[in-house]
A and B are shown apart, each in its own frame.
Chain A
């Protein structure tokens, strides 16, 4: 069969009836001509020559504008699409300034090491062409010790990441005296990545950075770049704590792209179950690859990456038996060498299909792919556009297909394509004054420079914190200054990103005499991915976990060939510690405050490949994880619920369904990732909680730290407590979401009822109240009644 070009492939699919009936939207984004301007007259002719030699005859309008702003010392945030040449916006003024005054220094911040490396190449080649004595270095955890001193003294442009700035540079700022004294520019790329917990930390790192700059008499200009979000300027101003100019009109030409929103068919109308997103993803991807159309598939979890890779490898193993990398997976946890190999394979088109987590979403150079398939909504519109941007970065027609899953967020996008294609509704939110985060950075800042009376740091009363830390014996107060007076190194105490910076290494012990480290799993994932007896999937090979040794942080695995994989079952229990605020609704008490969340992996299911049949269960014995966080919750008195006239089992179903919908809508309201918030149904004391297993529901008691499982027969125990729904921040200390949710309580509940009423399913489905199998057949009927009861309408 002759191979189709991408255009032909798209033309064919448009005629395909069954495909069309499932396409929620097919949007052709036309190409757009560019808008250029002349280089400003002050730009060094050498620089102009080098840029023109690279094909940049004139800068785009937005580039020229940005360059002018930056030159005039105006802090800016640039919001322009992928491949619109935003790096030039800062490289040009920075290089110009170094050419004029060779002492000038600039600091570039990228959220990941990989991105930093990638940008380095670009600046390097620019400088190489310029033949100027300008030194650019990356400074991160991989920088060799003997190179560090030279970088500190000589680097004109130092490229690093926030973690390194936080733990490696700021606490040693005196070694960077030369850089800080001459620092003119700070570039923050991918600004939108700094949201939630990471963003809250990051804003504090910037507070510290500005403080150190001030010490050395430097007042650098900030240049931020962000993907399209609703509040880039507000976000930049919240991070930088100063006014920032917004530049968001791109003058770059764009190539044509066809964007398809695909909603898999409903396979069981009664239960509202749609076909798994994996199925069409597999079919479309293999068809594209078959036609020599280079394709990237994004999956939402590491597990899905592995499962899809296996499916696609199985398919091509017959035609391409030799080349192991013709189709390959790619995710965090793969060792760096393998990842570099895959990246270059993509550039050389030896790899024609790659299945990845969002690890490949940001700037890592993988060349010019033609098609992008997203298996499930990536969680935000900004991410979706970035993922789609991996296909057709430079020119030529490209294709992006978003395949929806059954959850409310995905379905919401499918039902409201305008929401997706129009202006971004997404907000980046941070809470730099999260007390725990703030406290941590006040400690780090005091380590860096003593605090002086009257100094400001953050939105809280600084002196109160300083006195508190003095009380703790960490600071010493003398002559109106607070000095660090402890032996510890505070920047090492917290990681900016994860709760627990520790990792578990996966050791392949198949060959007893030759143990090999094959992957790393972060501490939290280890509990669900590499517990005893789990099947760990890596590069579509299966490994059986013989032993998870938490103490040594190692998981010993053995290569096996099974027809199933495992899925861990987790229980969550929430107990109220303190209520910060509460109010009464007609049918409920609504509160927000501090809670203790206990999670435990108690078992796993064996699931058969392809059929997803449940092959059995196993127990897991791992310690529980304990977290203090903030939550929003409401409690409905049991006698009021009883008055609704449903059975106790139905009431529990209804409450579970309400919690399910609430969690998803909260994520949407907050523009947060669904992983950033979690839900639980139980009672306020944490004595009872409802387990939300996929295979049924049970009520468990939780007394004196011991888990007592009761089986479904015990549903009647709903009478023993007043049920409470918790929607809580998934991070210790909280990130300020819950207070917002508390205030939006009424709106949230109304939206829940709206969503459920609008949903076309018969008895409830994953798009509204959750899968019928999980929430029961009456959920759709009962949830609005519960909400009415609460709101008194």
Chain B
């Protein structure tokens, strides 16, 4: 008995059941035939759906007419080409997205000149400051699974970059495992012309995965060594507060204004590729190309959007005040004084609105931390003038007057007024202020006339 048949018995599978006396063999064949027909029907139904759904496809007419299978079919349907290099062949679809074309709220052209300083801040990688937007390589892969490890392959690598006001998208497809090496070599070639990477969750996933694939194919490449802006982290920091989740598709809908139609859900992608390997039906891959292309373009407009927020010049109607405050918070962490000021200046003026107060507080904190106490004090004074008066402003100002200026009477006056004015102090806060008042009284009793900087 063949070992594989033994194995099948162990796993409880049926091993080519010997045909019994009656014509069950024939019946089986019939069943198989029916199953095959059903499968074909399903396939057809699916293809029709795909075609109908992909209303925005540029090659609608071609799609409907496409009957060719395999590589020739791919070339026809996706208008791609076969590329050959020293490691073999692969399939490439290159598209030029014109500067004038629209993606969500903006034209591609508007995304072009993003601020590299801001991008460097988003990436927390100062090296990026030296580059310009056309040095960025946008990258997104479609893979045979999400589990990671050496058994997952990136079969489609989507790349994008800006050039002369337009956006180029190159999609590299390994039509089979055997084409991976040639595909990776091409990726390496392009990456070597670019200075830094932009991805969405690429630090944890895409770049790790590609690094593994390079090693497995024995190609020396150091993608992980390139400066890398992974948009997931800043998106979460700046926009996460108002989103259900931080998936790219959610950001598209809620922030970038991109609506996808008939988009293939991510979880379906690996199986589609496995099906392609068996059936060689190019329509199985068409949706994936479209999905990947949109991902790459959205990364470009998302980069523009995020850098604009950091630059305090985002399109007003698509940015929320909380986004700015979150961005200021992010910059504050990195002590980017100027940028924080720039953002928070949006809320300055004599306004006592919540946002203004929050941003003033953030700015004052930054000043205090960087030793610019007098600048901070100005803000505290502005804040203390608002009603109801906030504990933060009163206590910081009082501390400043007492310890730095040593103007005990002014400090005393401030806290006394605060206690009498309209306020929203908690029990603890009130106690703390009263404690301070007591101490100030003692000090004044001891040295009633000493005052620094007496005008």
Contact = CB atoms under 8 A, between A and B. Distances in A.
A201 B150 CA distance: 21
A110 interface: no
B177 A486 contact: no
B4 A465 contact: yes
A446 interface: yes
Nearest to B215: A174
Contacts of A448: 150-151
A481 B145 contact: no
A476 B278 CA distance: 9
20 contacts: A172-B150, A435-B6, A435-B10, A436-B10, A447-B149, A448-B151, A450-B177, A464-B4, A478-B178, A479-B177, A479-B178, A481-B178, A484-B144, A484-B151, A485-B277, A486-B145, A487-B271, A489-B151, A628-B10, A733-B10
Given A476-B277, A628-B10, A628-B12, A177 B178 contact: no
Contact of B274 (A476, A577, A580): A476
A178 B145 CA distance: 25
Interface in B112-148: 144-148
A108 B11 CA distance: 35
Interface string B207-248: 000011001100000000000000000000000000000000
B2 interface: yes
B176 interface: yes
Interface of A: 171-175, 177, 435-436, 439, 446-450, 460-461, 464-465, 467-468, 473, 476, 478-479, 481, 483-490, 577-578, 580, 594, 628, 733
A436 B3 CA distance: 11
Contacts of A594: 9-10
A468 B149 contact: no
B7 interface: yes
Interface string B10-30: 111000000000000000000
B274 A177 contact: no
A483 B10 contact: no
In order of increasing CB-CB distance, the 4 nearest A-B pairs are: A447-B151, A487-B145, A484-B151, A489-B147
Interface in B1-60: 1-4, 6-7, 9-12
B145 to A, nearest CB: 4
Nearest to A467: B4
B153 interface: yes
B177 A476 contact: yes
B270 interface: yes
A487 B266 CA distance: 13
Contacts of B145: 486-489
Interface of B: 1-4, 6-7, 9-12, 144-151, 153, 176-178, 211-212, 215-216, 270-271, 274, 277
Contacts of B144: 484-487
A208 to B, nearest CB: 11
A724 to B, nearest CB: 20
Contacts of A481: 177-178
Contacts, number: 88
Contacts of B2: 464
A449 B216 contact: yes
Given A174-B211, A468-B7, A578-B9, 9 more contacts: A174-B216, A473-B274, A476-B177, A483-B177, A484-B144, A485-B274, A489-B149, A577-B9, A580-B6
A487 B4 contact: no
Secondary structure dominating the interface of A: mixed
A483 B153 contact: yes
A446 B7 contact: no
Contacts of B7: 435-436, 439, 468
B353 to A, nearest CB: 41
Contacts of B12: 628
B285 to A, nearest CB: 15
B11 A172 contact: no
A461 B5 CA distance: 12
A541 to B, nearest CB: 43
Contacts of B271: 487
Given A450-B177, A478-B178, A479-B178, A171 B151 contact: yes
Contacts of B150: 171-174, 447-449
Given A435-B6, A447-B149, A628-B12, A177 B215 contact: yes
Contacts of A580: 1, 6
A780 B2 CA distance: 44
Nearest to A448: B150
Interface-centre pick from B177, B215, B270 (highest chain A CB count, 10 A): B177
A171 B177 CA distance: 18
A435 B8 CA distance: 9
Nearest to A476: B277
Contacts of B147: 487-489
B455 to A, nearest CB: 55
Contacts of B211: 174
Contacts of B4: 464-465, 467-468
Contacts of A447: 149-151
Nearest to B180: A483
A690 B178 CA distance: 59
B90 to A, nearest CB: 14
Contacts of A172: 148-150
A489 B145 CA distance: 9
Nearest to A212: B150
A595 to B, nearest CB: 11
Nearest to A177: B215
B178 A460 contact: no
A461 B10 CA distance: 17
Contacts of A465: 4
A436 B11 contact: yes
A467 B4 CA distance: 10
B84 to A, nearest CB: 16
A460 B2 CA distance: 10
A174 B212 contact: yes
B177 A478 contact: yes
Nearest to B151: A447
B148 to A, nearest CB: 7
A460 B3 contact: yes
A756 B211 CA distance: 67
Contacts of B274: 473, 476, 485-486
A489 B147 CA distance: 6
Nearest to B269: A487
Contacts of A483: 153, 177
Contacts of A476: 176-177, 274, 277
Contacts of A578: 9
A549 B165 CA distance: 64
Contacts of A473: 274
Contacts of A174: 150, 211-212, 215-216
A459 to B, nearest CB: 9
Nearest to B9: A578
Nearest to B88: A479
A355 to B, nearest CB: 41
B297 to A, nearest CB: 27
A183 to B, nearest CB: 15
Nearest to B7: A435
B175 to A, nearest CB: 10
A171 B149 contact: yes
B258 to A, nearest CB: 27
A476 B3 CA distance: 21
A439 B7 CA distance: 9
Nearest to A468: B4
A342 B144 CA distance: 49
A210 to B, nearest CB: 16
Contacts of B153: 483
Nearest to B212: A174
A524 B6 CA distance: 27
A464 B3 CA distance: 8
A510 B212 CA distance: 52
A670 to B, nearest CB: 21
Interface-centre pick from B6, B7, B211 (highest chain A CB count, 10 A): B7
A298 to B, nearest CB: 36
A435 B3 contact: yes
